[in-house]
Amino acid sequence: MTTAQPSTRNPGPSWGIGLIRWAEHRCPRWLFRPLLMIGTWVAVAMLPRQRAHSRTYLAVALGREPRWGEIWRHFFAFAESLVLMLRSGRGAPVKCLMDPANQAVFDSLLASDRPALFGTFHFGESDLLGYLLGELGRRVSVVRLQVGNSTDTHALGKRFGARVSFLWINDPATLLFDLKAAIESGQSLALKCDRLEYSAKTEPFQFLGARRLFPFTIYHLAVLFNRPVIFCTAVPTATPDVIQVYASSLFSPDPAANREANLRSARVHFQSVLTHLEILLKNNPYLWFNFLPLNPKQTSA
């Protein structure tokens, strides 16, 4: 595990995640859920910046100004996702139901020993997928920003540590070197590809009604090191501790093609990934867990 000093922290009080973890473990569901609902209203009231970003995003996703109850639903969806991560971190089994569309491709890649790049987003239950890949037998290094109060991440890392390691990216100056070293060592990487904070390569793609900038580093790495790319997303189901997992088609660089030709194919692949993500968001817009500025629109042609 690569170590780094936390450069930031999750919003809310330092004891907040610990309290949720304690209450979820000790309170019956019929009591815990109302308490979580009340706590979510407190979060909506006490986190004005995240509330403003939620409002901006929901206005785009819903096509109208969101109501207070809808902003609360956005916060509560995240709270429920956090609870599932905490439950998984303390050993509760999480069952994955694979969508059949690309299951054969996904299963074949997992069964192989070929290092791969697994992409996902801050969306739904997708945070769990890097750890569940380890449970399925794939050694993977999860690329994460280390924060000072990430109890959920540490608990999950402890549970899945036999096959899952972390690659902390707190220092943007060494990011590409760290990624290069991890890939050259034969590791598979799990990366989130929606936030621009530390991305050296960004490109515009159609998403939520506009051409918006997204990180594109995963594909540059794929072409440079001849690694396949597959994206996975996950959403909650009506059954507790059961998630629905969607895999994309597989992008594999063509060794006979030049770099630009491969990147053109990569752009087509990523656009198809984002198109499917947008379909999932239309079904449940509250699963977009970026309480940050929405990906900016392209400013020039």
Which pTM value belongs to this model? 0.90
Q: What is the pLDDT of residue 8?
A: 61
Average pLDDT over the chain reads 89
Q: How many CB atoms lie within 10 A of CB 52?
A: 13
Taking the C-alpha atoms of residue 185 and residue 201, their distance in angstroms, rounded to an integer, is 22
Q: Is the pLDDT of residue 32 over 90?
A: yes
Average pLDDT over residues 262-290: 98
pLDDT of residue 7: 47
Phi first, then psi, for residue 136 (nearest 5°) are -85, 0
The yes-or-no verdict on residue 11 having pLDDT over 90 is no
Residue 148 confidence (pLDDT) above 60? no
What pLDDT score was predicted for residue 256? 96
Q: Quick one: pLDDT at residue 135? A: 78
pLDDT of the residue at 137: 77
Per residue in 50-98, pLDDT (tens digit) is: 999 999 999 999 999 999 999 999 999 999 999 999 998 888 899 999 9
Task: Tell me the percentage of the chain whose pLDDT exceeds 90.
Answer: 66
Q: What pLDDT is attached to residue 205?
A: 98
pLDDT in tens, 203-254: 999 999 999 999 999 999 999 999 999 999 999 999 999 999 999 999 999 9
